[in-house]
């Protein structure tokens, strides 16, 4: 995957410029002040950096930057971001950005308007820009984790994968435990409450009809005197008794019936009346008998009222707590029993899940400890490698280190946070890469890391600005060799004043200024053949071309051509 095309319109000193870029190593050379930094500024805008109206060409209201990347179907980080934003992707990825003097910015990806943040996210996986710029993935500690682990090889990555799988299993069990709804403590509290409520209702032995029966009995007992008085008076009036002051209704009816019976021979029409009186007398006798039995049953014990009131209080108390009716209270007790059964079952399941979680966490701790040791071993090897390459790049006294900061709790990534540290001079403390001030130092540190981690770092396009700052001789020769090798795995774009870097490149562009119609314009020309020889000759002699510098330029190009052929042959043999 490469940056294949860059178009700039009304940007800084550029009027309308299109560049075709290539795989391998691309260098931009030219006189100081020709506008090489403009190219870097344009790419920065494509990567989502802040824009300024001062970047718009004088006399224009807006500027346009467009970049085309050739897409690799296997580059998952890009596809992940595109899918996240619902963006379509084909063989090309086209990113454009318009900036206007009004302050309005329009960002597009494959023709669709997107937020500036989308360009930043895409830029993070498409381009690494090294120099006096913030867009560098290696400045981010989270990237250090990935690079160190991949540099550690299959053994370390296998352990890392195992840790991730253990953590995923632990998380799965934790979610299962969470799905049970409550913690062990809360489950115990609920069980205690439910058992208390269930026992309270069950011990009461409620009966749906008992409360009404007891209420009626209590009403009767509370009105016993009235009932006795009424029943005794009714019995005396209807049936009489030895203590009756006058004859009873039964006696009077019987007397009338007997008198009529004695006159029946005189008038047989009295027969129906006698029959009726006999029925009345019989009914009164039966009524009297029933009243007698009723009176006989109107008995109670003094403690009975207290017992009934106590029992009814149980009903009132339970209905107040658990339901409006006895049926609702009994239904509540049934639900309690069901919930108790569920909680007891879930408690057993929770205990098993908690045990499984504890066992998994022990495995996680062990695996994380093994991973830490492997990372420290890898960090030691990487440190020596980086310091060795930095020495080759003219930084013999530089120090590099991998800082391990232990986490309080292990994560799916391990038990530590990792960050690369650097110091350029003896006696100076090691600092995070983001605090390197010198652009030349920054570029060389990044080149050292990139050259060592070339196969592990998957960002396709690397841009180096001012990597040759303050170095020369054998050091710049080493820089050129490292960048040439790096271009086998990445597209490399370099802005340089170094003839060695220009000679090592696969493609060279010349940046220059033209004055047309009283206006200065930055232009770019692709150099081949004699034009390239002359430009490298100019660079060799500080701007002056001679036959000697021209021959040196030819020899330099020839030397790098042979070196590349030998490197290609060596790789084929491997």
What are the pLDDT digits (tens) for 438-473?
A: 666 777 787 788 778 766 677 889 888 877 776 777
| pLDDT tens per residue across span 35-79 | 888 888 899 999 988 888 889 999 899 999 999 999 888 888 898
Confidence of residue 215 (pLDDT cuts 50, 70, 90): confident
User: CA–CA separation, 416 vs 396, rounded Å?
Assistant: 30
**574: pLDDT confidence band, cut at 50, 70 and 90?**
low
pLDDT at 20: 95
pLDDT of amino acid 132: 52
pLDDT at 523: 92
Q: Which of 320, 427, 327, 416 is nearest to 368 (CA)?
A: 416
Per-residue pLDDT tens over the stretch 17-34 = 999 999 999 999 988 878
pLDDT value for 131 = 60
User: What angle (nearest 5°) sits at the alpha carbon of residue 498, between those of residues 496 and 503?
Assistant: 100
Q: How many other C-beta atoms are found inside a 10 Å radius of the C-beta of residue 122?
A: 25
User: What would the mean pLDDT of 360-381 be, rounded to a whole number?
Assistant: 94
Confidence band for 265, pLDDT divided at 50, 70 and 90 = confident
Q: Which CATH number fits domain 2-131+440-527: 3.40.50.300, 2.60.120.920, 1.20.1050.10, 3.90.580.10?
A: 3.40.50.300
**Residue 425 CB neighbour total at 10 angstroms:** 10
Closest CA to 464 of 430, 487, 489, 433: 487
Closest CA to 257 of 284, 231, 287, 225: 284
Dihedral, CA of residue 153, residue 155, residue 158 and residue 163, to nearest 10? -110
* Predicted local confidence at residue 434, as pLDDT: 75
Confidence (pLDDT) at 488? 87
Query: Which residues, including other chains, have CB under 8 Å from residue 75's CB and lie 6 or more apart?
Result: 1, 125, 458, 460
Percentage of the chain exceeding pLDDT 70: 95
Decide: 440 and 466 in contact? Cβ < 8 Å: yes
Give the SS3 label for residue 399: strand
Residue that wins the pLDDT comparison between 495 and 471: 495
Contacts of residue 492, defined as CB under 8 A and 6 or more positions apart, other chains included, come to 24, 25, 26, 461, 462, 463, 464, 483, 486
> Confidence band (pLDDT; 50, 70, 90) for 109?
very high
Give me the pLDDT at residue 365, please. 93
Average pLDDT over all residues of the chain: 86
CA distances from 549 to 30, 245, 421 (A): 17, 161, 41
Pairwise pLDDT comparison (455 vs 533), residue with the higher score: 533
Helix (H) or strand (E) holding 3: strand 2-11
pLDDT band at 94 (very low <50, low <70, confident <90, very high): very high
Mean pLDDT computed over 227-240: 82
Query: In the chain, where are the structural domains located?
Result: 2-131+440-527, 223-322
Please report the pLDDT score of residue 382 as a whole number.
92
pLDDT tens digit sequence for 112-139:
999 999 999 998 889 988 765 445 667 7
pLDDT at site 345? 74
pLDDT in tens, 140-185: 888 888 888 888 888 898 999 999 999 999 998 888 777 676 677 7
57 DSSP assignment: P
In angstroms, rounded to a whole number, what is the distance separating the alpha carbons of residues 483 and 468?
Answer: 12
Mean pLDDT, range 366-394, rounded to an integer: 91
User: What span, in angstroms and rounded, lies between the C-alpha atoms of 139 and 121?
Assistant: 15
Neighbours of 221 (CB within 10 A): 17
The residue ranking higher by pLDDT, 184 or 383, is 383
Counting beta carbons within 10 angstroms of the beta carbon of residue 208, is it exposed (0 to 12), middle (13 to 18) or buried (19 or more)? Answer: exposed
Looking at residue 429, what DSSP letter applies?
Answer: P
* pLDDT above 90: percentage of residues in the chain: 33
CA distances from 432 to 107, 139, 459 (A): 32, 8, 21
Q: pLDDT band at residue 274, thresholds of 50, 70 and 90?
A: confident
Q: Residues 399-446: pLDDT tens digits? A: 999 999 998 888 888 999 999 999 988 888 998 887 775 666 777 787
């Amino acid at each position: 995957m490469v940056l294949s095309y860059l178009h700039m319109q009304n940007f800084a000193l550029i009027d309308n410029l299109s560049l075709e870029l290539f795989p391998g190593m691309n260098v931009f050379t030219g006189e100081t002040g020709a506008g090489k930094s403009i190219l870097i500024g344009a790419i920065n805008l494509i990567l989502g950096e802040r824009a300024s109206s001062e970047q718009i060409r004088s006399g224009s209201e807006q500027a346009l930057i467009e970049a085309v990347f050739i897409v690799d179907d296997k580059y998952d980080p890009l596809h992940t971001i595109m899918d996240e934003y619902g963006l379509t992707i084909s063989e090309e990825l086209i990113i454009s950005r318009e900036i206007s003097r009004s302050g309005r910015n329009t960002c597009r990806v494959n023709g669709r308007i997107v937020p500036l943040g989308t360009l930043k996210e895409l830029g993070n996986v498409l381009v690494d820009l090294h120099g006096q710029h913030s867009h560098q993935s290696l400045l981010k500690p989270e990237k250090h984790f990935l690079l160190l682990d991949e540099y550690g090889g299959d053994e370390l990555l296998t352990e890392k994968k195992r840790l991730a799988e253990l953590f995923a299993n632990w998380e799965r069990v934790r979610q299962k435990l969470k799905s049970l709804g409550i913690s062990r403590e809360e489950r115990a509290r609920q069980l205690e409450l439910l058992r208390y409520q269930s026992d309270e209702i069950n011990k009461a032995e409620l009966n749906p009809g008992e409360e009404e029966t007891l209420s009626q009995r209590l009403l009767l007992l509370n009105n016993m005197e009235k009932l006795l008085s009424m029943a005794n008076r009714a019995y005396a009036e209807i049936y009489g008794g030895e203590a009756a002051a006058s004859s009873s209704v039964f006696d009077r009816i019987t007397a009338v019936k007997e008198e009529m019976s004695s006159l029946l021979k005189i008038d047989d029409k009295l027969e129906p009346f006698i029959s009726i009186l006999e029925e009345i007398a019989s009914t009164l006798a039966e009524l009297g008998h029933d009243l007698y039995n009723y009176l006989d049953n109107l008995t109670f014990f003094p403690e009975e009222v207290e017992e009934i009131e106590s029992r009814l209080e149980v009903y009132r108390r339970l209905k107040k707590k658990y339901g409006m009716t006895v049926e609702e209270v009994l239904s509540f007790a049934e639900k309690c029993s069901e919930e108790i059964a569920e909680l007891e079952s879930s408690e057993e399941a929770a205990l098993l899940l908690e045990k499984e979680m504890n066992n998994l966490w022990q495995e996680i701790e062990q695996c994380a400890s093994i991973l830490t040791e492997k990372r420290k071993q890898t960090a030691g090897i990487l440190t020596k490698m980086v310091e060795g390459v930095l020495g080759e790049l003219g930084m013999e006294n530089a120090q590099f280190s991998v800082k391990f900061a232990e986490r309080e709790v292990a994560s799916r990534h391990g038990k530590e946070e990792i960050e690369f540290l650097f110091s350029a001079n003896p006696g100076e403390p090691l600092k995070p890469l983001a605090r390197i001030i010198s652009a030349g130092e920054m570029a060389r540190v990044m080149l050292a890391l990139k050259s060592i981690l070339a196969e592990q770092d998957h960002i396709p396009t690397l841009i180096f600005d001012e990597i040759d700052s303050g170095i020369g001789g054998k050091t710049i020769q080493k820089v050129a060799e490292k960048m040439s090798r790096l271009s086998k795995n990445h597209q490399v774009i370099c802005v340089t004043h170094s003839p060695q870097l220009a000679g090592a490149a696969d493609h060279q562009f010349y940046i220059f200024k033209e004055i047309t119609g009283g206006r200065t314009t930055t232009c770019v020309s692709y150099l081949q053949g004699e034009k390239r020889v002359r430009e490298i000759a100019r660079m060799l002699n500080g701007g002056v071309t001679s036959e000697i510098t021209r021959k040196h330029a030819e020899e330099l190009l020839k030397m790098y051509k042979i070196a590349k052929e030998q490197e290609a042959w060596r790789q084929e043999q491997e």
